[in-house]
Amino acid sequence: MSDKLPVPSSRPIDRAALERVLGRAAELQAGGADAPDMLTEAQLLEIGKEVGLAPEHLRQALAEERTRVVLAPEAGLSARLAGPGQATATRIVSGEPAATLATLDAWMHREECLQAKRRYGDRITWEPRRDLVSNVRRGLNLGGRGYTLSRATEVAATVSPVDEGRVLVRLDADVSTARRQRIAGGAVTAAGGVAAGGTLVTVAVVAHAALFVLPLALLPIAAGAGVGYAIARGHRGVVARMQVALEQILDRLEHGELRRPASLLDALTKS
């Protein structure tokens, strides 16, 4: 058998084929006996340079990996019926991790009626404030903001450096509790329709008028099922509004609009 390597073809390779070839080559390399189990980021950048990958793209990919949050796959009835239980938005902005997290933390306290729940270094989670002033602000919609994020069970921010002067920010809002409440409300409504229809059927049987009343009994059942379905599906609108709220915060962060002097109302709601 000849030891000579085949001459590379000059035939062009499209993007999809390129991704498959590189992915398969990485898989083969990882399965090799001499493949390292761990690499430093510096080593990864060096490898990327050798294969012609732009450093800025690798750094962004690394930042996205550091901010990646593993979520359980949503393939059940709740997800299919009512939609996702999480809203997520990401953006690369100018700044450094600590300062960016501090800016976001101040904004969440001051403008979104949230309070810090946990701090993990490069990640902060918040939950809705339940004090009197915050409840009044949300109830009266002071400032006309809507306080959409306060409807989430938990809001989280993860910040990871991309390069000098830029960070990747990921915002997550957990709306799974709101989804459960929507589904429960829809189920109660549907059950009410079934109960009303069943009552009509019972009355019809007792009065020996089932033939006439049975068609009418189907109306509350159908109406209850339809309204219940609409209530559950309404959660998709909640997720959409939550997504917009997260994107708006990233817009303000990107344009440096999250900082402003604290007001007297801010001082009253500060924890």
In a domain, 203, yes or no: yes
**Same domain membership, residue 185 and residue 174:** no
Write the pLDDT tens digit of every residue in 136-193: 888 787 766 778 999 999 999 999 888 888 899 999 999 999 999 999 999 999 999 8
**Same domain membership, residue 208 and residue 84:** no
What per-residue confidence (pLDDT) applies to 71? 53
**Same domain membership, residue 249 and residue 184:** no
**Same domain membership, residue 209 and residue 156:** no
pLDDT at 24 over 70: no
Q: How confident is the model at residue 48 (pLDDT cuts 50, 70, 90)?
A: low
Cα(220)–Cα(241) distance, integer angstroms: 32
What per-residue confidence (pLDDT) applies to 196? 86
pLDDT at 76 over 80: no
In a domain, 191, yes or no: yes
Indicate the number of domains in the chain. 2
In a domain, 97, yes or no: yes
Query: Between these two residues, 95 and 200, which has the higher pLDDT value?
Result: 95
pLDDT at 7 over 80: no
If you search the block for the tokens 């099922």, which residue do you land on?
A: 225
Residue in 62, 245, 246, 259 with CA at minimum distance from that of residue 167: 62
In a domain, 94, yes or no: yes
Q: What is the DSSP letter of 95?
A: S
Query: For residue 174, what are its two tokens?
Result: 């957990």
What per-residue confidence (pLDDT) applies to 192? 92
**Same domain membership, residue 85 and residue 164:** yes
Q: How confident is the model at residue 134 (pLDDT cuts 50, 70, 90)?
A: confident
pTM of the model: 0.69
In a domain, 32, yes or no: no
Hey, which of 33-47, 56-70, 149-163, 209-223 has the most confident mean pLDDT? 149-163
**Same domain membership, residue 219 and residue 85:** no
Mean pLDDT of all residues belonging to the chain: 79
pLDDT at 271 over 60: no
Contacts of 103 (CB under 8 A, 6+ apart): 95, 253, 258, 259
In a domain, 8, yes or no: no
pLDDT at 261 over 60: no
**Same domain membership, residue 254 and residue 141:** yes
**Same domain membership, residue 243 and residue 192:** no
Contacts of 63 (CB under 8 A, 6+ apart): 92, 160, 161, 162, 167, 168
What per-residue confidence (pLDDT) applies to 137? 83
**Same domain membership, residue 172 and residue 191:** no
Asked if 164 contacts 100 with a C-beta cutoff of 8 angstroms, the reply is no
**Same domain membership, residue 171 and residue 215:** no
Cα(202)–Cα(199) distance, integer angstroms: 5
Share of the chain above pLDDT 90, in %: 38
**Same domain membership, residue 242 and residue 139:** yes
Q: How confident is the model at residue 47 (pLDDT cuts 50, 70, 90)?
A: low
Range of the domain at 187: 179-233
**CATH number, domain with residue 126:** 3.30.530
What per-residue confidence (pLDDT) applies to 178? 92
Cα(257)–Cα(252) distance, integer angstroms: 5
Query: Between these two residues, 268 and 139, which has the higher pLDDT value?
Result: 139
pLDDT at 235 over 70: yes
What per-residue confidence (pLDDT) applies to 1? 46
In a domain, 269, yes or no: no
Write the pLDDT tens digit of every residue in 86-117: 999 999 899 999 999 999 999 999 999 999 99
**Same domain membership, residue 211 and residue 167:** no
